[in-house]
Amino acid sequence: METNIDFCKMKVVIIAGGKGTRIASVAADIPKSMIPIAGKPVVEYQIELAKRYGFTDILFVVGHLGDQIETYFGDGSRWGVTISYFHEQEPLGTSGALPLLVNQLTDEFWVFYGDTMMDFDMEAMLQAHQQRGAKATLFLHPNDHPYDSDLVEIDEQGMVKAFISKPHDPAQDYRNLVNAALYILNKDCVSYIPEGKSDFGKHIFPSLLTHQLPLAGYVSSEYIKDMGTPDRWAKVEKDVLSGKVARLNRKYPRPAVFLDRDGVICKEVNLLSQKQQVELLPGAAAAIKQINAAGYLAIIVTNQPVIARNLCSLDDLADIHKRLETRLGEEHAFVDAIYFCPHHPDKGYPEERVEYKIECMCRKPKPGMLLQAASDWNIDLQQSYMIGDRQWDVMAGEAAGVKKSVLIETNKADALLHAINELL
Ligand SMILES: [Zn+2]
């Protein structure tokens, strides 16, 4: 990896001060990070992950029942890492301890929450952090309940624009991007953390944004889940045992289902150009929920010549996609990414935007959007599917080399659901 940071020396700070209150029925007397998953504490998976990527310098922030963590892990030598401990005298929230141990931090460091099960490509996230010149990078992902999650808004370059805390204004639409509580921070951020109790999501990141520090969002669908409730704990254990947690690491190619948008997910109207026109087709959310559950990426690839024809601005299109993601989220479904082609080859209309009137590589039937997605998300095209309602969808899928392309009827209720039931 090309990097100007001696990344092996980057410290991994594991916040493990929390009590296990909500999960008391599973484990009453142990810290949340020591909750056993398939025979070992959840935080042990984190230490193994860090070690696998060469990060061997671990700093635990412990509080309630923290001695148990120290007794179990000791100096870390059994795991091939070096572990030190910071004992909180009082609960300081997720970020409050950092100013007290600033002298022990490396210039850049990781922040893990100890009660989270995760497996992700640490190298890829670090690269994204460096490429964007960010002072902090937040791991963001879509989830199946965005309506009651704290959300993050990012711009086209992946830089954070806003934090949208719950409860949400029901009149507003949002992208489904949830702060997963996994960060890379630069030490400069620590000077913005006040003394006493504080929380990264609630206080620190919004404050860094106000102070115009560049914060980046790293969007990924790798596995990361907290152990908040007994239900989730049971699900996480199942995912560990089935190999799902490890399999979703970005370094392993994943299959995707590529989906056309209009006439397939939302109702085709003549040149959809305003968010008010967004209407999910019956069965579309249920179909996408199945794609999510099956471990496939759900990726929209849509021709949007409305941009070239100047019937719709890029902001309008972003609003349309926010509404689409909000509606899907209400039904517990999410797409991992949306790719659109803004171009159109035919020039000569009075209102057109000439910069988009080009022969591009992304307009279906060309496979450009699928190939770009494959590169961005490490997609195994040969195990992937394309579903659309036009011949150009099928041709784009075939040109990209997907396993199968399926043509469904435009605006037909449950057509997508039937197609998914056949394929997955
Ligand atoms: Zn294009």
Find the 304 Cα to ligand 1 centroid distance in Å.
8
Does domain 256-423 correspond to CATH entry 3.40.50.1000? yes
Classify the phi-psi angles of 148: left when phi > 0, otherwise alpha if psi is within -120 to 50, otherwise beta. alpha
Contact between residue 419 and residue 387 where contact means Cβ atoms under 8 Å apart: yes
| CA-closest candidate to residue 379, choices 402, 407, 362 | 402
> Within the chain, which residues score under 70 in pLDDT?
1-8, 19-28
Contact between residue 423 and residue 258 where contact means Cβ atoms under 8 Å apart: no
Find the 212 Cα to ligand 1 centroid distance in Å.
34
Q: What is the DSSP string of 162-210?
A: EEEPSSPPTT------EEEEEEEEEGGGGGGSPSS---IIIIIHHHHHH
Contact between residue 34 and residue 70 where contact means Cβ atoms under 8 Å apart: no
pTM comes to 0.93
Give the pairing of strands 223-226 and 108-113: unpaired
From-to residues of CATH 3.40.50.1000 in the chain: 256-423
Find the 342 Cα to ligand 1 centroid distance in Å.
5
Round to whole Å and give the CA distance between 80 and 57. Answer: 10
From-to residues of CATH 3.90.550.10 in the chain: 7-247
| CATH number corresponding to 7-247 | 3.90.550.10
* Residue pLDDT, tens place only, 54-100: 999 999 999 978 999 999 999 999 999 999 999 999 999 999 999 99
Find the 386 Cα to ligand 1 centroid distance in Å.
18
Task: Compute how many other C-beta atoms are within 10 angstroms of the C-beta atom of residue 107.
Answer: 13
Active-site positions? 260, 262
Q: At residue 229, what is the residue type? A: T
Find the 394 Cα to ligand 1 centroid distance in Å.
17
* Tokens coding 361: 């590589």
Find the 17 Cα to ligand 1 centroid distance in Å.
50
